[in-house]
Structure 1
Amino acid sequence: MESKDIFGLALNLSEPWEISEMKLTKLEGLKRGQLDIYIDFVSGSEFRDSDGQLCGVYDSEERSWQHLNFFEHTCYLHARVPRIKQADGKVKTVPVPWARSGSGFTLLFEAFAMLLIEYEMPVNKVASTLRVVPNRLWRVFNHWVEDGVKKDDLSSVTQIGIDDTSSRKGHKYVTVNVDLATRRVIHVCEDRGIEAVAELADVLTSKAGDPEKVDNVAIDMSPSYISGVQRYLPKAQIVFDKFHVVAKLGEAMDELRKQESRGNEQLKGHKYTILKNYKNLSSEKREELDFLLMMYPRLGEAYRLKVMFKEFWDFTNTQEAMAYLSFWCDIVDETDIFPFKRFVKTVKTHWSGIMNYVKARINSGVMEGINNKIQLAKRRARGFRNKTNFINMIYFIAGKMKFDYPYYPL
């Protein structure tokens, strides 16, 4: 078997395509060279038009694609791509089986690059490994992700979580919408608040979903998100995300710690000793916390109330949960812990959304888990300057999309 036949088999070429020539160029003193493989079609070949009719070749144009390396050598495919004249008089370029239209890479090259990204290698690092300019690889990445997003089916979506995250520290935010039932991202947009929910409703409609079939939406206590859900997801119950509510209580606890720290050196350096969950502290830190709570009665009372509040999330009976939360708020109102009193006002203002958690039992931990994945991707990439790249990376790591690029076995 000749080398052309071997490479033809490796490239999975079939009639009328064949290898016409191969050249390996290697400059003196360099270990790495370039392999050029020239592909042509058999003279007199016919190709099918859009209607499936066979047509003769009208003319051809020279094209090149970067392929996977041959050993350490960069490899390129070159071909005389035929154009045919259809019955309607339009001239059409015949698609080649080894590359997608408009790409400068072969399908196998793109599949391998996507596989490396899937294995959590940053895109810029993949580009360096494959010896290509990062922007070219980002275009490949964005093409396949956007193709997968376009074909996504949202017909079964009934429970949604909405949260936002930034592309880089201190930079603009994007809104991430999660299907809580399937634990995946279904839409990411640059807007926030009302505009983000309006866009989500449009996307649901365009992808076989129905905004009126959404039963529950988990959000933070942002007034703009509340207004957006009420307007564009009219039949959805608003459920205030457990983690955001607990975070508000943590902020009240931290404010009290700062107040108590004024003039008290013993509290300096103990921010996380006080804010962390007791079970997450080391035995040494637990002893320090017990001492501080004993020495500072207001801090000790606030810590006890914080622990009591956590019990609310375990209730499954709505009436019992409501009675317990009312009882907890009454206890706080009888104290002189003003940061906690402000938190109680927040709870009463958002009472129905907090109580809906007991009914819906939406697992907002799904959103927290997805956000952790996003933060990890940001750290690996050292932030995203291009917002489109960031949005598509979120889809890629948390969207559970189906992509059409070829499977590349390792």
Structure 2
Amino acid sequence: NIGPRIAIDESSLSNGELYTFVTNRDACTRERSLVAVVAGTKSEDVIGVLRCINEEKRFAVEEVTLDLSDSMRKIVRSAFPKARRVIDRFHIQKLACDAVQELRIKHRWNAIQQANDEMEEAKLNSKEYVPYRYPNGDTRRELLIRSRYLLFKSADKWTEKQKQRAKILFEEYPDIKKAYGLCHSLRMIFSKNSITDAARLSMARWYNKVEEAGFHSFNVIAATFYEHYDEILNFYNNRSTNAMAESFNAKIKLFRANLRGVADKKFFLFRIANLYGYPH
């Protein structure tokens, strides 16, 4: 089932036990899409299994999409030495989104503490506690809880209520606004740029913005990008992502849910191999 464009990713079958799945992206998660399944994610074990595949076929692989995992990079480097490695853009964007959410959660804990202190003070003064509410009806704590989903989306996809909530959030917490701007800028680098050189320049400008912002999480992300620079920019050759691998994982999870879990792993993998490994 191996082809010129493959994907590698990990997935859990039961109890958090991970398996490494190698799939043929051109098969689009249909029959003959499964190349290999290996128990665990240890690079040496996966490499040992993949090297059982004919060397000529492995050397014919031109492109492999993967996440930021170092073990996955090592596997691809050893098993498919002639292939171009492409780090999935969505894993990169998720890192930036996580950094924004981390900042929101930090402020949320502070808001909870502030509310507790105000309640305690009201009790000591024998007064009824009435929390402050913003024009949209949210308390400080509710504002931070309910802003979670709008921070994942572009501003042009916000509803009217989300626009109102975002306006209040950004006025109250300018650091969240700045972090959201960095995350959005990164998303635009992948959406708007079509050639590697333009993306390289945009990425360099983004690094400068991160440095000026002074957020620890974003500095860590920038350092991670620097280590994987070429593999990230390889996205612009064919705009390849690991979406097929994620789609395959989703099918496995659905299959697992329909069976109410995995009682017999060997039989489950046998069924997966019959569904996705052979022509019907």
TM-score (norm 1): 0.55
Separation (CA, whole Å) in 2 of partners of 1:245 and 1:217:
16
Correspondence list, 1:112-261, <5 A? 153-154=1-2, 157-168=3-14, 170-183=15-28, 184-194=33-43, 195-202=45-52, 204-205=53-54, 210-261=57-108
Bigger drift between 361-370 and 271-280 goes to 271-280
Q: In structure 1, what is the equivalent of residue 125 of structure 2?
A: none
After superposition, give the CA deviation of every residue in 1:354-404 in whole Å (9 maximum; x if it has no partner): 01111242232222222221221122122213222332343345x26224x
Report the alpha carbon displacement of residue 296 of structure 1 after superposing the two structures with TM: 0.9
Q: Is 2:23–2:35's contact at 8 Å kept on the other side of the alignment?
A: yes
Q: In structure 2, what is the equivalent of residue 327 of structure 1?
A: 205
The secondary structure found in structure 2 opposite 1:210 is: helix
Report the alpha carbon displacement of residue 279 of structure 1 after superposing the two structures with TM: 5.7
The secondary structure found in structure 1 opposite 2:194 is: coil
Separation (CA, whole Å) in 2 of partners of 1:164 and 1:211:
20
Separation (CA, whole Å) in 2 of partners of 1:394 and 1:299:
44
Q: What amino acid sits opposite 2:190 in the alignment? A: W
Q: In structure 2, what is the equivalent of residue 291 of structure 1?
A: 168
**Cα distance, 1:375–1:278 mapped onto 2, change above 3 Å:** farther
Q: In structure 2, what is the equivalent of residue 99 of structure 1?
A: none
Report the alpha carbon displacement of residue 290 of structure 1 after superposing the two structures with TM: 3.1
Identity of aligned residues (%): 22
Q: In structure 2, what is the equivalent of residue 41 of structure 1?
A: none
Q: Is 2:93–2:183's contact at 8 Å kept on the other side of the alignment?
A: no
Report the alpha carbon displacement of residue 319 of structure 1 after superposing the two structures with TM: 0.6
Structure with higher RCO (Cα < 8 A, 6+ apart): 2
Q: In structure 2, what is the equivalent of residue 379 of structure 1?
A: 257
Q: In structure 2, what is the equivalent of residue 124 of structure 1?
A: none
After superposition, give the CA deviation of every residue in 1:117-145 in whole Å (9 maximum; x if it has no partner): xxxxxxxxxxxxxxxxxxxxxxxxxxxxx
Tell me, which stretches of 5 or more residues in structure 1 are unaligned? 1-152, 404-410
Report the alpha carbon displacement of residue 178 of structure 1 after superposing the two structures with TM: 1.2
**Cα distance, 1:394–1:313 mapped onto 2, change above 3 Å:** farther
Q: Is 1:218–1:362's contact at 8 Å kept on the other side of the alignment?
A: yes
Bigger drift between 266-275 and 345-354 goes to 266-275
The secondary structure found in structure 1 opposite 2:6 is: strand
The secondary structure found in structure 2 opposite 1:302 is: helix
How many residue pairs end up in the alignment? Answer: 244
More strand by share: 1
Separation (CA, whole Å) in 2 of partners of 1:363 and 1:268:
31
**Cα distance, 1:196–1:278 mapped onto 2, change above 3 Å:** farther
Separation (CA, whole Å) in 2 of partners of 1:160 and 1:201:
15
The secondary structure found in structure 2 opposite 1:401 is: coil
Q: Is 1:256–1:339's contact at 8 Å kept on the other side of the alignment?
A: no
Report the alpha carbon displacement of residue 306 of structure 1 after superposing the two structures with TM: 1.0
Separation (CA, whole Å) in 2 of partners of 1:223 and 1:400:
27
**Cα distance, 1:243–1:385 mapped onto 2, change above 3 Å:** farther
Separation (CA, whole Å) in 2 of partners of 1:394 and 1:312:
37
Q: Is 1:178–1:187's contact at 8 Å kept on the other side of the alignment?
A: yes
Q: In structure 2, what is the equivalent of residue 312 of structure 1?
A: 189
Report the alpha carbon displacement of residue 347 of structure 1 after superposing the two structures with TM: 0.8
Q: Is 2:99–2:217's contact at 8 Å kept on the other side of the alignment?
A: yes
Report the alpha carbon displacement of residue 281 of structure 1 after superposing the two structures with TM: 4.9
**Cα distance, 1:261–1:336 mapped onto 2, change above 3 Å:** farther
Q: In structure 2, what is the equivalent of residue 356 of structure 1?
A: 234
**Cα distance, 1:392–1:293 mapped onto 2, change above 3 Å:** farther
Q: What amino acid sits opposite 1:354 in the alignment? A: I
After superposition, give the CA deviation of every residue in 1:309-352 in whole Å (9 maximum; x if it has no partner): 11222322111111111111111111122211111111111111
Q: In structure 2, what is the equivalent of residue 4 of structure 1?
A: none
Q: Is 2:85–2:231's contact at 8 Å kept on the other side of the alignment?
A: yes
Q: What amino acid sits opposite 1:336 in the alignment? A: G
Tell me, which stretches of 5 or more residues in structure 2 are unaligned? 112-140
- Higher Cα radius of gyration: 1
